[in-house]
Structure 1
Amino acid sequence: MRQTHITIPIKQKSIGFLFLTLGIIIFIIKFMSDSADTVGESPTLFYIGGNGEVISQFPVKDGEVSYSVTFDNPTKRTFKIVSVEPILTRRGHDVLINEVMPLDEIKIVKPGEQVQFNGKFNVNTNGLSEEEIRNMIPLIEAYKVVFNRQEEIILPLSMLKK
């Protein structure tokens, strides 16, 4: 069996090597420019711009807590928020009737914009005084946010931008 040996002229090898090198350089520049978007920014990609919760001041067996949270995006990136779940304080867990369900609602937050999520969960404040109910607020201490490609971040209310 006869083998054919193909020789490539040195000029073609040089041009191929040049294109390969240029491709690698372009890839590295692209990668570095993508990561440069987060350089100098805080580790928080977006933050809680506002938060509120409402609970009846009167003791009830099956009361409803309504909450609202706003996320602000100060970065130059767009984020797709997929899910938001409130994380309750110890006092919140003590009066919780059912489990708190995450808000599975997809919203896009563009650079410099904000999005708002609203939800509810049920509590049993029966046996508590009006003062005890007032003193247990806030019931929410943080929010677990799932965004983009199933990335998760926990944003505590202590980081609330003022």
Structure 2
Amino acid sequence: MSSRFVFSIMTLLMTLISTSSAQAITLRGEIQPDRYTYYLTDQYAQKLWAMNRDRNRTIRFNLPPGELVAQTDVSFAYQHPAPTAITCISSIYYNQGARANWLKVACIDNNGLEYSTHQKWPDTSIAKRVCKVGEASCDAFLTMSSDNWSGPQ
């Protein structure tokens, strides 16, 4: 084997090892500009905490629209306390199976853990308060590179 090939393989392995704990929810389609922060009820925060600690969690299909699913690896999520708030963003994409445009919502909580749902935003009943990111007293746990964009230079 050439040293260049070995170097390429080693670089790839080091990249995979160093990023194995990092995750990111992929949003395909047209990202919608509005983000909302849900300040969770104690009861729903405990539900998410239990979901994150469930070492036997499996991929669940046919969930009701708007039902959040944990996307963070349980070995990373297990060490975090119950969340107090989540910030969500959405995208509209073409679902090949349904042959229709669908809504995907991705959320990140105040601990950095990720969740997602399809077809509907999480219900407001999970929160004490919901606000639009950018309004006064509305924290954002999901930031975008465009948040600091000051226009063309």
Q: Which has the higher contact order (CA 8 A, sep 6+)?
A: 2
TM-score, normalising length: structure 1: 0.24
Greater fraction of residues in strand = 1
Q: If you compute each CA radius of gyration, which structure gives the higher value, 1 or 2?
A: 1
TM-score, normalising length: structure 2: 0.25
